[in-house]
Amino acid sequence: MQNTGRYLWLLHNILRKIWVRVAGFALLAILSLVIAHLFSGRLPVELTQRSGAAVVEDLLTILATSMLAVTTFSLSIAVSAFAAAANSATPRATALLQEDNTTQNVLATFIGSFVFSLLGLIALSAGLYDESSRSVLFAFTIVVIVWVIVALIRWTNHLMNFGRMGDTLGRVEAAASDSLAARIQNPYLGGKPLLSSLPQGQRVCAASTGYVQHIDMPALQAIADKSGANIYLCQLPGHFVYNGKPLMVITGAQLDSEAVSAACAAIVLGTARTFAEDPRFGLIVMAEIASRALSPAVNDPGTAIDVVGRLLRVLSRWSEKNEPEPSFPDIHVPVVSVKDLVTDAFRPIARDGAALIEVQCRLVKALLALKDQAPEVFGEAVNAMLAYILDCMSVAGVVSADMDEVMKIDGMAQLFNN
């Protein structure tokens, strides 16, 4: 069975880890040693004296001692930013801060330069560099020092906004927009749409509990090709499954135990939802940020209004139509419901901001704008959400003047004459 898609997904996740970048600096130190041995005896000793390479040991010592302190200080700043984002926005948003490329590159540069200098000092103490090849280590050290200086400048500029509410919201919006755009480009993950109820057939069930994070479509298609079966997926990335919950239904053939195990392995489960392949999760996180802003302890309706605008910007892309030819014709994939998207995005804000007229007016205008862009796509879902908003306002005891203001918004009177 082919698990290429799963392995590429795992490799992509591994390459985003900070230790990979740190390992690059260790390889740089090893590379300098290899090059030094290649040129050992070929470089004149005068080059070492004229280039200042004689002080390379002092430079490495300074680099090792300073980078350890800088790394510790930078890590404390990063952890503080993560905590601030979790407290002011939502803990679900901290994953995006932790995956920030600038932060990871800077921290990896600091830690990696410390590792580089440490390995360089060990090599010098072991006598692995002679007088003529020290200039090679000196050249590599200068490159690392310049790299560190650039990283320090980037880190200083980056800290101006890192972890602030606007920065966190921007990251969540970008993640939600990218995930939604990817789903629009590939609405059925390369398979065929499952527009009806699941057929009767062999059920393949989950063997553990967690969230679906990735579905290896090429591996499932390979199973279907080998067995002559049709595969009907029951779950999408972001769905929560437990031991015994159906993952897929197989028709047209009976899979043996080996094929069933391979089919289960093609659906990767994890302990938490991720942004990359789950377009609903980004909307849920943005709505969580708005809900926290509307809580009595925070009382920040301005942030909630900002989130509504961002949600409108993200969901507006869903009106784009794309029906590509299926790459995996034997796999049938559930369709993402527009009603679910609208509910995930706006219901928490409608509920928690029911008594705030400024929030409700902005929310109603955003929903009507969404409907106006693509009435055939959003019409039913938006109408249901507008009715829910009016119910929430009624239960919250909103005064009649505020209710009238909402009803005066263009488009509301035609929907709710009463």
Coil, helix or strand for 213? strand
* CA gap 54, 137 in Å, rounded: 10
Pairing of strands 246-251, 202-205: antiparallel
Per-residue pLDDT of the chain (418 residues), as tens digits, is 445 566 676 776 676 677 777 787 778 778 877 777 776 666 565 655 565 556 788 888 888 889 888 888 888 988 888 888 888 888 998 888 888 888 888 888 888 888 888 888 888 888 777 776 777 788 888 888 998 999 999 998 988 888 889 999 999 999 999 999 999 988 899 999 998 888 999 999 998 999 999 999 999 999 999 999 999 999 999 999 999 999 999 999 999 989 999 999 999 999 999 998 899 999 999 999 999 999 998 989 999 999 999 999 999 988 766 778 889 999 999 999 999 999 999 999 999 999 999 999 999 999 999 999 989 999 999 999 999 999 999 998 889 898 889 888 887 877 776 5
Coil, helix or strand for 403? helix
Burial label, 145 (beta-carbon count in 10 A; 0-12, 13-18, 19+): middle
* CA gap 227, 222 in Å, rounded: 9
- Select from 382, 392, 376 the least CA-distant residue to 412: 382
Handedness of CA 357, 359, 365, 371 (dihedral sign): negative
Contacts of 358 by beta carbon, 8 Å cutoff, 6+ apart: 301, 305
Q: What is the pTM of this model?
A: 0.83
Q: Which residues pair with 278 in a beta bridge?
A: none
pLDDT for residue 39 = 67
* CA gap 211, 236 in Å, rounded: 9
Contacts of 359 by beta carbon, 8 Å cutoff, 6+ apart: 294, 301, 304, 305, 308, 349, 353
- 185-201: pLDDT as tens digits: 888 999 999 988 889 99
**Phi-psi label, residue 238: left if phi above 0, alpha if psi -120 to 50, beta otherwise:** left
Handedness of CA 52, 54, 58, 61 (dihedral sign): positive
Rounded to the nearest 5°, which phi and psi values hold at 247? -95, -35
Coil, helix or strand for 193? strand
pLDDT for residue 362 = 94
